[in-house]
Chain A
Amino acid sequence: MSTLTTYARAALPLVPGASLLPFVAGRGKQMPALERRVDGVSVDPAHLADYARVCGFTLRDTLPATYLHMPAFPLHMQLMTDGKFPFPAVGLVHLRNRITVHRPARVSEVFDVVVRTTPIEPHPKGRTFAIVSEARVDGELVWEERSTMLRRGGGSGEAASGSAPLTDGQTRGAPVTWTLPGDLGRRYGSVSGDRNPIHMHALTARAFGFKQAIAHGMWTKARALAALEPLPDAYTVDVEFKKPIFLPGRVTFAADDGRFVVRSAKNPDITHLEGTVTP
């Protein structure tokens, strides 16, 4: 399925009455245990090079931690457009993303990728659930990712258990400035395959309530991770996506002692992303 049709299908539950149709997501209240998998994922070095270039990574024989998000992403979309999926995919907010690298994943390896949903949990601003993705090489778990998604509205006011915030609001190290071009969303979109209209162009973003196109959260995470190279063989990189970055734009990046933060260059009170890298 092309990403365009995927996004069209993802948006279908927004059409009044459409969610009554059996093949359209967005009807249930409980999160069913959904799973999708794709086996035999191999890496094209030329694609890895394009990804490394757009995110700022050195092109190594080992994959950046964020790279395997890309083969998992179409499976995420499949889950969220499944008829049993309780929410419309469009409008879900990617709140937090935690990736654990158990050992370096090499370019020449072949990966079996599986993704599954977790139960709905309460959140002050709505309800959350996670999509857990795992990549294995010959049965050995080498990589896993937990994407926490928020469905706004109907917030219980209570926070979910085990989701202590990553952030402590402190300034970190000496900030460097990144200038993000207006076509960054299109560039990352063409490499990653995530052509969500909110990232593509101001006009398409406006249709979804954003004044300008916004940077992909996974690009921002990858760019931050690239700035932290060299990285250890095994680690966890956990980020919270706070506020969208409008394109074009300028942001600052600062890191200190395993913690990092991306802020608006114009207004340092606006934090876009905060994260940690832990061994």
Chain B
Amino acid sequence: MTPAAPRRAVVLGGNRIPFARSDSAYKKASNQDMLTAALDGLVERFGLAGERLGDVVAGAVLKHSRDFNLTRECVLGSRLAPETPAYDIQQACGTGLEAAILVANKIALGQIEAGVAGGVDTTSDAPLALNEDLRSILLDANREKSVQGRLRQLLRVRPQQLAPAIPRNEEPRTGLSMGEHQARTAAEWGITREAQDELAMRSHQNLAAAYERGFQDDLVTPYLGLERDQNLRPDSSIEKLAKLKPVFGGADGTMTAGNSTPLSDGAAVALLASEEWAKQRGLTPLATFVDAETAAVDYVNGREGLLMAPAYAVPRLLERNGLTLQDFDLYEIHEAFASQVLSTLAAWEDPVFCTQRLGRSEPLGAIDRSKLNVNGSSLAAGHPFAATGGRIVAALAKALHERGGGRGLISICAAGGQGVVAILEA
């Protein structure tokens, strides 16, 4: 028996809650609350109540140990049929897009007909862990058979060990925060403060315009009093951005709170299906999920910048699909930091990088900047780590459909020196 030949997986749409700034509108909402809210909105929008879907795949970067089956718990709390299976994945900021790749691949192989991909993160309701020494003592005490033995272990506890371990935005192998890593890359590529502020301002303007013209109406569902992303500053200007002090890269740094994404809370999901499934339900495919690639770089030994993996993933994806970097109508390059986007674009234009590091005969070249993040990106919307992929997949699919067709490129950098990229086509 031969398995069915791969078929097209299409994106039907998505739903997210407005993203909130850390310790603000969603300060008491858990990952489970927010992902359930995003799923509820999707179920309502696409009439999925009582439907058994093939898979719901999502994840969170910052996760409580009690949330081991987070996505499945959310499915059980949603109006999807309780017979809908679910699993969690985690690939840092690439989580949401990687989830979409997994769902699309199962659809393409005929293993499932429809599935949901997404992610959620909270930096407010963050998991606090026991101090590592205290945890070790408690486990030792638990292994003791006698009361005396347990007491002996517990007497090792010192007051300073009672302070909890707080999750930190730093690379375990380098001890540097993501911002510090990126500040080095930005300096290496000579990315100016002005260029970063310009990109940040465009992100706010584009997202504000997207809300104004109703583009977000069927992508976002209000939650806990928020109707738009809390970080969005429609009146953002170069002058205001220029006043901010550098937060990474020391006193001479170029990266500020204005051109770096803030810590944020939120959830996003996208609905993918086979063309037949969509047709049976009278749903319009917005775009085909064409192909995807994941890359990683050796940032530990300093051979490459932490967030430069997409610069490697995209050329491999282009080559496999016989495309050039210019063969796209829209580009969605996740704005972890404005300088990350600009470093990546600079690398693709650089003959030395493209020949020595990518092994190409010539550079990938420049892109038409007017096609970049046309409806705003993470600098304006905020970036709840695992939620960003779902936000971008749904928004790009809609934008491609809206313009009557075309090809779009998604690029997302992730902690651990990883990058996840994909092509959508309408």
Q: Do A and B come from one complex?
A: yes
Q: Which chain A residues have a beta carbon within 8 Å of chain B's beta carbons?
A: 45-46, 48-50, 52-53, 58-61, 106-108, 229-230
Taking the nearest CB of chain B, how far is it from the CB of A232, in angstroms? 9
> What does the 1/0 interface line of B224-249 toward A look like (CB < 8 Å)?
11000000000000000000000000
B27 and A61 contact, CB distance less than 8 A: no
Q: Which of B32, B221, B222 contacts A58 (CB 8 A)?
A: B32
Find out whether the CB atom of A50 lies under 8 angstroms from the CB atom of B40: no
Query: Measured between alpha carbons, how far is A106 from B223 in the docked complex, in Å?
Result: 9
Which of B30, B32, B77, B222 interacts with A61 by CB under 8 Å? B222
Chain A residues positioned under 8 Å from B33 (CB to CB): 52, 58-60
Interfacial chain B residues near A107, Cβ < 8 Å: 224-225
The answer to whether A230 and B25 touch (CB under 8 A), given A58-B32, A58-B33, A108-B222, is no
Task: Please judge, given known A-B contacts A60-B40, A229-B77, whether A46 and B225 are in contact too, CB under 8 Å.
Answer: no
Contact A230 B79 (CB under 8 A): yes
Not counting A48-B224, A230-B40, a sample of 8 additional A-B residue pairs whose C-beta atoms are within 8 angstroms of each other reads A45-B28, A53-B28, A58-B37, A59-B37, A60-B36, A108-B222, A108-B225, A230-B77
**Whole-angstrom distance from the CB of A128 to the nearest CB of chain B?**
36
Closest residue to A226 on the B side, CB-wise?
B77
4 tightest Cβ-Cβ pairs between the two chains A and B: A49-B28, A59-B33, A45-B224, A230-B79
In the complex, which of the residues B25, B77, B224 has the most CB atoms of chain A within 10 Å of its own CB atom? B224
Q: Is the CB of A59 within 8 A of B29?
A: yes
* Residues on the A chain within 8 Å of B222, using CB: 61, 106, 108
A61 and B77 alpha carbons, distance in the complex (Å): 14
Known: A45-B25, A49-B29. A61 touches B79 (CB 8 A): no
Contacts of A45 in B (CB 8 A): 25, 28, 224-225
Cβ < 8 Å to A, chain B residues 366-400: none
The number of residues on chain B lying at the interface, defined by a beta carbon within 8 Å of a beta carbon of chain A, is: 18
Question: Which among B27, B28, B77, B221 has the greatest number of chain A C-beta atoms within 10 A?
Answer: B28
Q: How many A-B residue pairs have CB under 8 A?
A: 42
Interface residues of B in 238-295 (CB under 8 A from A): none
Q: List residues of chain B with CB within 8 A of the CB of A48.
A: 224
Asked if B15 is at the interface (CB within 8 A of a chain A CB), the reply is no
Main secondary structure of the interface of B (DSSP, over half): loop
CB within 8 Å for A59 and B77 given contacts A46-B27, A46-B28, A49-B29:
no
CA distance A67 to B377 in the complex (A): 36
User: Assuming A45-B28, A107-B225, is B37 touching A60 (CB within 8 A)?
Assistant: yes
**Chain B residues, Cβ within 8 Å of A58:** 32-33, 36-37, 77
Q: Which residues of B contact A (CB under 8 A)?
A: 25, 27-30, 32-33, 36-37, 40, 77-79, 221-225
Which residues of chain A have C-beta atoms less than 8 A from B28's C-beta? 45-46, 49-50, 53, 59
Residues of B within 8 A of A230 (CB): 40, 77-79
* Distance (whole angstroms) from the CB of A73 to the closest CB of chain B: 22
Bound CA–CA A142/B224 (angstroms): 19
By a CB distance below 8 angstroms, the chain B residues around A108 are 222, 225
Q: Pick 25 A–B contacts, CB within 8 A, sort by A.
A: A45-B25, A45-B224, A45-B225, A48-B224, A49-B28, A53-B28, A58-B32, A58-B36, A59-B29, A59-B33, A59-B37, A59-B224, A60-B33, A60-B36, A60-B40, A61-B221, A61-B222, A61-B223, A61-B224, A106-B222, A107-B225, A108-B222, A108-B225, A230-B78, A230-B79
Asked if residues A59 and B30 are in contact (CB atoms below 8 Å), the reply is yes
Complex Cα spacing A52 to B30, Å: 11
Docked complex Cα distance between A230 and B33 (Å): 13
A60 to B33, CA, bound (A): 7
A-side contacts of B221, CB under 8 Å:
61
Q: How far is the CA of A106 from the CA of B222 in the complex (A)?
A: 10
B191 to chain A, nearest CB (A): 39
CA distance A61 to B32 in the complex (A): 13
| Whole-angstrom CA separation of A46 from B223 in the bound complex | 13
Residues of chain A with a CB closer than 8 A to B224's CB: 45, 48, 59, 61, 107
When C-beta atoms are compared, the residue in chain A nearest to B40 turns out to be: A60
For A52, give the chain B residue with the smallest CB separation.
Answer: B33
Cα-based distance from A49 to B79 in the complex (angstroms): 21
CB distance from B56 to the nearest CB of A (A): 14
How far, in whole Å, are A52 and B36 apart by their CA atoms in the complex?
14
| A229 to B78 Cα, complex, angstroms | 8
A108 smallest CB distance to B (angstroms): 5
- A61 cross-chain contacts in B, Cβ below 8 A: 37, 221-224
Most chain B beta-carbon contacts within 10 A, residue among A46, A58, A61, A107: A58
Residue of A nearest to B29 (CB): A59
A48 and B28 CA atoms in complex are apart in Å by 9
Point out the residues of chain B lying under 8 angstroms from A106, CB to CB: 222
CA distance A103 to B315 in the complex (A): 52
Q: Chain B residues near A50 (CB, 8 Å)? A: 28
* CB of A199 to closest CB in B, whole Å: 24
